[in-house]
Chains A and B, each alone.
Chain A
Amino acid sequence: GENVEQHPSTLSVQEGDSAVIKCTYSDSASNYFPWYKQELGKRPQLIIDIRSNVGEKKDQRIAVTLNKTAKHFSLHITETQPEDSAVYFCAAYSGGYQKVTFGTGTKLQVIP
């Protein structure tokens, strides 16, 4: 089955700096890669996603890049703000029934 590894597990940045979180996956047939943000005590919410036929996608301060050859995808947050502090999860969908596997999460702390 699919295996998704996520790094780093914790990340502290100064407000205004950039943050990058990377995930690697094992199943070359995976074709959809979402990123979720989960604030303390709340449910995960989709912040950005990318499909396997696209190399990069951007939405304001958030971008995701995909390298299918290396089987990794990354979340980039620019001009970080304190409200970006949360746990971020990547996920990969694979197979005919689109089974989903989540990464282990990255706790991002933005220091004012």
Chain B
Amino acid sequence: EAGVAQSPRYKIIEKRQSVAFWCNPISGHATLYWYQQILGQGPKLLIQFQNNGVVDDSQLPKDRFSAERLKGVDSTLKIQPAKLEDSAVYLCASSLRRATDYEQYFGPGTRLTVT
């Protein structure tokens, strides 16, 4: 089966600019996650969708970050305006989340550099 797709793979922007990332999860996966991974740290959950509803966005900086999941499939994560500290890899993951299957499958990530 095809894996989780993300684009772009790399993005360089200046601070105060806007940027958007796109994720296409594995077909049939109900749960979609966006993580921010700063170099040398563990993934930090930004937002979790169950189908097209938000389950958890407690760590999403809502003054500048927004995310949506259209029709319970693809998702976009937007940063507006970007700050230097937003430089990180943004990982998207999906899972079936049935009672016996919680495994998350990660996409390749988008490396964002804010200058």
- The contact string, 1 if C-beta is below 8 Å from chain B, for chain A 94-106, is 0001111111110
B44: A residues at CB distance < 8 A: 102
Complex CA distance for A105 and B45, rounded to whole angstroms = 14
**What does DSSP make chain A's interface, helix, strand, loop or mixed?**
strand
* Cβ-defined contact, B50 with A43, below 8 A: no
How far apart sit A3 and B74, CA to CA, in the bound complex (Å)?
Answer: 29
State how many angstroms separate the Cβ of A49 from the closest Cβ of chain B: 7
Given contacts A43-B107, A97-B50, A98-B97, whether A104 and B42 have CB atoms under 8 Å apart is: yes
Using A89-B43, A105-B42 as known contacts, say yes or no to A99 and B48 having CB atoms under 8 A apart.
yes
User: Complex formed: what's the CA distance from A10 to B37 in Å?
Assistant: 18
**What bracket does the count of chain A residues touching chain B fall in?**
20 to 34
Q: Is residue A46 contacting chain B, with contact meaning CB distance below 8 A? A: yes
Tell me whether A102 and B48 are in contact in the complex, defined as CB-CB below 8 angstroms, given that A43-B108, A46-B104, A97-B56 are known contacts. Answer: no
Chain B interface (Cβ < 8 Å from any Cβ of A): 33, 35, 40-45, 48, 50, 55-56, 58, 91, 97, 102-104, 106-109
Contact sample, A vs B, 18 pairs, CB 8 Å cutoff: A6-B42, A32-B102, A34-B103, A44-B91, A45-B106, A46-B103, A46-B104, A89-B43, A93-B102, A97-B48, A97-B50, A97-B56, A98-B102, A99-B45, A99-B56, A102-B43, A103-B42, A105-B41
